[in-house]
Amino acid sequence: MTGRRLEPDQRRAQLLSCAVRLFGRRPYADVSTSDIAAEAGVARGLINHYFGTKRDLYIEAVRGLVTVPPVAVEQLPDGDLRTRVDASVTWFLDVVSRHSTPWLAAVDAGDPDVRRVLAEADEVAATSILTALGLPDTGTHRAVMRAYCGLAKATAREWLERGALDRDRAHAVLATTLTTLVGEVLE
């Protein structure tokens, strides 16, 4: 195999992207490290070098799918609460729709390691939402944002998996709820 030379961070990101794509198309057991290496155009040993085992790569792929990156908050527009809520909800819906199959598989997983990653991602999301909306990080605020994260996942499922909501309705549910939580519950 003759993959093009990338910087370590770029190669790691490429391998994660290929893993997300393959795990999104097929169940974990049906994806091999050889499949991921072939998709990336690299030797299989690079997967072991960057991630260790297939399981470790899978957990990192899930973490990347469900964790809000700092750049998501940094790129939010300035503006009032409604503007920032709208932009935050749009970002979330864009991400889950772009990666709907692997995202749904991750949030529905019964695997204890994946559940741990989801719980960590909820904490990151709570922090991100509080930061994005300029709210203090108190116990009550964090608890409300974690509860909102559960609603966000359920709403995305209703849209992507069940088809009970369209994207506009899912956006309205999430934006209205978050605005109401901030304005009426956390005031």
Assign 35 a pLDDT band (cuts: 50, 70, 90): very high
Q: What is the Cβ-side half-sphere exposure of residue 174, based on CA atoms within 13 angstroms?
A: 31
Looking at every residue in the chain, the average pLDDT score rounds to 92
Question: Which residues, including other chains, have CB under 8 Å from residue 173's CB and lie 6 or more apart?
Answer: 151, 155, 165
Give the mean pLDDT of 34-55: 93
Say whether pLDDT at 140 is over 60.
Answer: yes
Please name which of 59, 68, 65 lies closest in space to residue 148, comparing C-alpha atoms: 68
Assign 26 a pLDDT band (cuts: 50, 70, 90): confident
Assign 1 a pLDDT band (cuts: 50, 70, 90): very low
Which pLDDT value is given to residue 89? 97
Per residue in 84-118, pLDDT (tens digit) is 999 999 999 999 998 898 899 888 888 899 999 99
Per residue in 49-78, pLDDT (tens digit) is 999 999 999 999 999 889 999 999 999 999
Give the mean pLDDT of 22-43: 90
More confident residue, 4 or 182: 182
Note whether 181 and 148 are within 8 A (CB).
yes
Assign 34 a pLDDT band (cuts: 50, 70, 90): very high
Assign 3 a pLDDT band (cuts: 50, 70, 90): low
pTM (2 decimals)?
0.85
Structural tokens at position 83: 């503007």
Q: Could you give the CA distance from residue 30 to residue 103 in angstroms, rounded to a whole number?
A: 17
Per residue in 141-176, pLDDT (tens digit) is 999 999 999 999 999 999 999 999 999 999 999 999
**φ, ψ of residue 63 in degrees (nearest 5):** -55, -45
Domains in the chain, start-ordered, CATH in brackets? 8-63 (1.10.10.60), 67-185 (1.10.357)
Residues listed for the chain: 187
Which pLDDT value is given to residue 110? 83
